[in-house]
Amino acid sequence: MGKLKSVVFDALPEHETCWSLTTAPNGKIYIGVCGELTGGLSVFLVQYDPETETTEYLLDVGEALGHSARFGATPISKVHYGMIPGHDGKLYCATHFSGPPVTDVVWRPWQTWDDPVRMACGLCLFTYDTSNGHLENLGSICPNEGCRAAGFAERRRLMYIVTWPRNHFVVFNVGTGDFFDAGRLGNTNPLSIWTDEQENAYTVDDLGEIICYDAEERRLHETGIKIPKSPFCREENRSIYDAVRSPDGNGIYGSVWNLEYMPFAGHLFYYDMKNNEIRDYGPGKKGSADKKSHLSSLVFGEDGFLYYVVSEEDMHRRLGCRMYLMRMNTENGEKEEIGALDDGQWHSEYVAKATFDFKGNLYFADTNNRPTRLYVYRPETGERRLVNDFSKIRNWG
């Protein structure tokens, strides 16, 4: 079925999550290694080279942006789903917060909202040039808030951002530095933004409705289409967790993020952007009755299958859930279990996002292990070849 290995970020022993993960035009993998549970930790930008199988720790993002957490401020602990590569070789990034100040045990935004020392500086925007290592600070917007999801309209030079905790849809022009607040999406963030061929943006509100941002009209509007609801959920509260573009470019495959007392019970779906239609593929594992099943990390393999991970409760393990790698034939909806994300020493409880390299290897970003890591899966698809097709890399976090 293939081979699985881990890439462990042991030079960052206190960092415990990887939320942002992508592939640049140079074929290298870039990761935001985050720290949420220890006070004063900043996100680290890390590079993994598939050719040499080596890891390089590039920079402490907070220090590089001039927002050191050493003096009691809320640290820039994350680049969440907000690291997007451009064809120019730059990473376009928006930062996030959730780690406590160095003096605190836990952080909540309202505890530091008006504190001149401990307050969050606002979501910072920056680019990182993968060709020469230059970081350009584009400034910060939305004081006290961070970014949990972003997309990039490269031709328009616009970053589409959802802020947290106020959940506003913000548009930032990376050329001029101007930004525009298009309005509030609801009480709870979506965790994915995607774009169409015209670089309009799409996301989902907290009642499951797909919302479109019209880039020409500069406004949000409802599409009239809702993403599927799990039969376990009695209420309408749900949004999107992850999305990947379909191979034909006409739509996206996505996973549902339920928002009531059990935030998982995820479903797979396909949204046809051209015809504004939805298709429900059901739970990630056929016949799954696990209400805590988390579904994420959607990525297409070189073999044409849609790969993703799904969790099942397992109280006999060190962590209470176990993640399983799955794949689906999108032509007939058949799902196949490949195996657990388990390297023999560690197993994954929660996986955030996925990407691929130009040899067809698939990468999955682990969370909740310390030190944190990537799981790398090599499907059995015959002879490996370098296919430098950057167009398949998604332009959202």
- Please name every residue paired with 248 in a beta bridge, in sequence order, or none if there are none: none
Under CATH, what is the fold of the domain 2-392?
Methylamine Dehydrogenase; Chain H (2.130.10)
Over residues 202-219, the pLDDT tens digits come to 999 999 999 999 999 999
If you average pLDDT over residues 240-251, what whole number do you get? 96
Residue 107 pLDDT: 84
Residue ranges of alpha helices (H) inside 100-186 are 109-112
Contact predicate 210/226, CB 8 Å: yes
pTM: 0.95
What pairs with residue 96 in β-bridges? 78
> Does residue 270 have a pLDDT over 80?
yes
Find the farthest-apart pair of alpha carbons in the chain and give their distance in angstroms, rounded. 58
The residue-averaged pLDDT of 46-70 equals: 95
| Structure-model confidence comparison of residues 186 and 24, the more confident one | 24
Q: Print burial letters for 162-187: b (CB count within 10 Å at least 16), e (below 16).
A: bbbbbbebbbbebeeeebeebeebbe
DSSP per residue over 179-228, as a string?
EEEEEE--SS--S--EE-TT--EEEE-TBSEEEEEETTTTEEEEEEEE--
**Contact (Cβ atoms closer than 8 angstroms) between residue 357 and residue 29:** yes
Q: Is the pLDDT of residue 347 over 80?
A: no
Asked if residue 167 has pLDDT above 80, the reply is yes
Q: How confident is the model at residue 151 (pLDDT cuts 50, 70, 90)?
A: very high
C-alpha gyration radius of the chain = 20
pLDDT at residue 235, as a whole number: 77
| pLDDT given at position 382 | 52
Give yes or no for residue 173 having a pLDDT over 90.
yes
Report the alpha-carbon distance of residue 14 to residue 375 in Å, rounded. 19
Domain map (residue ranges) of the chain: 2-392
Q: 350 forms bridges with which residues in the sheet?
A: 367
Residue range 28-45: mean pLDDT, rounded: 95
pLDDT, mean of residues 16-40: 96
**Is 336's pLDDT higher than 90?**
yes
Task: Give yes or no for residue 261 having a pLDDT over 60.
Answer: no
Q: Which of 108-112, 146-150, 152-156 has the lowest mean pLDDT?
A: 108-112
**Average pLDDT for 378-390:** 66
First-to-last C-alpha distance (Å) of the chain:
28
Q: What is the pLDDT averaged over residues 130-157?
A: 97
Percentage with pLDDT > 70 across the chain: 93
Say what the pLDDT of residue 387 is. 58
